[in-house]
Structure 1
Amino acid sequence: MEKARLCFITGGVRSGKSSFAERKALEYALQMDGNLHYLACGRVSDVEMGDRIHRHQKHRESSPIAWQTSEYATDITRIGADINQDSIILLDCLTTLLDNELFGPGIPLEKEFLDSVFSKIINGINEIRKQSSCLIVVSNELVQEPIFHNEFLHLYGKTLGLLHQMIVGQADEAYLVESGIPLRKKGCIQE
């Protein structure tokens, strides 16, 4: 079975990447006559995060096509029971998913563990692509600034950077969103 279309969208914090990703998902759903599915990886960790989640939910409620939402902070393959070959899935966001997979009580941040988390996320993305028509992955661009003053931050940045490279390598399209403006980095413009 052929894998679903893959679109990668990254940008800095509050760059407009999630709004762009939602518009892109709607565009795909209209083109492919598909259904919209939001794979939320965020957890309410403070008031600001709760407000952001609520704003995103309200924005999706105004969509001309209804969104189905699944909330999986880890183990994203669990979405499999909720989707089908007509699903356009928006995974928001990879950075949060990586955080959730890495941070937990007693988790050793050793190379073997980081490698297993990397594989788990990539395998999860590939499994979702086998069951849907399109997957849009949103992530934060964190590795443009030097963060190597701390060994953990170095390992985290390296893992995120490698995830970005692997996903973009497989992606049909990739965008960097800056100040609300999406910049196409990969993929041809469809006529």
Structure 2
Amino acid sequence: MASSSLIFITGGVRSGKSSMAERLALEIASQSGGPLYYIATGVPSDSEMQERIEKHQSDREAGTYQWKTIEQSVQIGRLAETFSSGDIILLDCVTTLLNNELFSTEQTWNDSFLETVKEKIITGIISIKNRAGTMIVVSNEVLNESLPGNDLVFLYSRLLGQIHQVLVEEADQAFLVEAGIPIAMKGVRQ
């Protein structure tokens, strides 16, 4: 059995990272013949988010390959048993998953809760990756922007940065997408 691979893609809002991830997943699927899965973490909380979700869905439906979409806004690790070694999985996105995990409960954001959320996300992603052929993980790069003097924003940004560091360390390849241009940060696309 071939080993699984993890590809991490980050970038700013509307940078083209999701489009790049979808193209890459399609390229891998065309070479391997494996099925495509899309783990969508978004929850349609307002009209803008609903439009974004619908656009992503229509983009996937318009293609040659059939995507199997799984809506999972929290506890993605529960999906691990769903996958097998030939699967190509795209998770979009870690930022939304983190939001969902943090706000799915009335829990106080103390160190213990934040560590539990971080571990749940990392463990879930690694569990899925270990069962799949290829896992592509998309996240927003929010750490380059100035942070307002809000403790919750600071805690969120710090936690997201810690998650990114672990995922990049685990990744075979990592990309930063700016203005639709992927910049290889780790590994080389073959």
CA positional deviation for 1:2: 7.2
Residue aligning to 2:100? 100
Residue aligning to 1:77? 77
Residue aligning to 1:152? 152
Q: Whole-Å Cα distance in 1 between the matches of residues 49 and 144 of structure 2?
A: 23
- Tell me if 1:46 matches 2:43: no
Residue aligning to 2:117? 117
CA positional deviation for 1:147: 1.3
The amino acid that maps onto 1:92 is D
Cα-to-partner distance string for 1:24-73 (whole Å, 9 max, x where unaligned): 11111122221100000000000111011001001001222100000000
Structure 1, 77-86 or 105-114: larger mean CA deviation = 77-86
Cα-to-partner distance string for 1:143-181 (whole Å, 9 max, x where unaligned): 112315111111110000011111001111111111111
In the superposition, the TM-score normalised over structure 2's length comes to 0.95
Q: Whole-Å Cα distance in 2 between the matches of residues 163 and 105 of structure 1?
A: 20
In the superposition, the TM-score normalised over structure 1's length comes to 0.95
Contact 1:61 1:67 in 2 (8 A): yes
Contact 1:3 1:129 in 2 (8 A): no
Residue aligning to 2:176? 176
CA positional deviation for 1:77: 1.8
Give the match's secondary structure for 1:79: helix
- Tell me if 1:33 matches 2:22: no
Q: Whole-Å Cα distance in 1 between the matches of residues 3 and 80 of structure 2?
A: 14
Q: Whole-Å Cα distance in 1 between the matches of residues 70 and 58 of structure 2?
A: 15
Cα-to-partner distance string for 1:111-143 (whole Å, 9 max, x where unaligned): 110001111111101110121101100000001
Give the match's secondary structure for 1:164: helix
What value does the CA root-mean-square deviation take over the aligned residues? 1.4
**Taking every aligned residue pair, what percent have the same amino acid on both sides?**
48
- Tell me if 1:4 matches 2:4: yes
Q: Whole-Å Cα distance in 2 between the matches of residues 99 and 37 of structure 1?
A: 22
Q: Whole-Å Cα distance in 2 between the matches of residues 115 and 79 of structure 1?
A: 21
Q: Whole-Å Cα distance in 1 between the matches of residues 77 and 3 of structure 2?
A: 15
Q: Whole-Å Cα distance in 1 between the matches of residues 16 and 147 of structure 2?
A: 23
Residue aligning to 1:137? 137
Residue aligning to 1:188? 188
Give the match's secondary structure for 1:137: strand
- In structure 2, relative to structure 1, the CA distance for the partners of 1:153 and 1:3 (3 Å cut) is farther
